[in-house]
Amino acid sequence: MNKVALALLGALTGVLVHGGATHAQASGAGGTASMASTVPAGSRLDEILARGTLRACTTGDYKPYSFYKTDGQFEGIDIDMTESLAKSLGVKAEYVKTSWSNLMNDFVARCDIGVGGVSTTLERQKRAFFTQAYMVDGKTPIVRCDDVNKYQTVAQIDQPATRVIVNPGGTNERFAKQFFAHANLTVYPDNVTIFKQILAGKADVMVTDASETLLQQKLNPGLCSVHPDKPFQYGEKAWLLPRGDVAFQQYVDQWLHLARATGEYQAVTDKWLK
């Protein structure tokens, strides 16, 4: 175990033991049982350190957060940060490729963290913890540049003549089905090539996270993000963690806090977005 992981684990253990001891003193004769219930039986943190690997579920189809390359390797903001987290623990990162529709099931069954531009939702919160949010985001349209003024509002998009395209299984599909009941909606299976459909004139609009639209307009000249600074709704990006595991959540949150405070996270985002 390296010095960073050892120090953080020691601090967390001290907090838990101190809290248990204080409760025990206040409980008198029942203190021993109360203290035992305060300290968790085990944490994924201990398992990861013993196993020597950090297993991360990710879809690999969501630039700039996670992208699965033809050589079988992942890259992106969340991939770089996962490598940083693994290094802080003194372990190796392992990636489990999943899809948005299978993300939660795969995460619960196979992974320690879920990464790659995951939006925080109450539905996901029922099955997992989230880290602190590392990015504020929201849904906004991306269209052909000539059509920017045509698709400024939800009402303008939600018309029978508008061809809305969306990737399946995530918050983009839920947003589209909730707000575009009158539009011609197509669920397109490949989130990597979906933007080419708009360029080719086979669709008119996709509504996705503002951060993704900013990157995709760079990668696809002729496409433009529509008011990314004023998205249709508020959203956050965070990582999935095992539900109920406070010790592991506190470790990851503290690591993320330090990464942001030292400028490491900003350097990684600048690498992919600037």
Question: Which position has the token pair 């996962």?
Answer: 82
**Rounded distance between C-alpha atoms, residue 56 and residue 272, angstroms:** 20
pLDDT at 32: 39
CA atoms within 13 A on the CB side of 189: 0
At residue 190, the 3 state secondary structure works out as coil
pLDDT tens for each residue of 199-235? 999 999 999 999 999 999 999 999 999 999 999 999 9
Residue 157's contacts (CB-CB under 8 Å, 6 or more residues apart) are 141, 151, 164, 179, 180, 183, 205, 207
**Rounded distance between C-alpha atoms, residue 65 and residue 7, angstroms:** 29
pLDDT at 50: 97
Cis peptide before 64 (omega within 30 of 0): yes
pLDDT at 192: 86
pLDDT at 249: 98
pLDDT at 22: 42
- pLDDT lower than 70: segments of the chain: 1-41
pLDDT tens for each residue of 65-93? 999 999 999 999 999 999 999 999 999 99
pLDDT at 191: 86
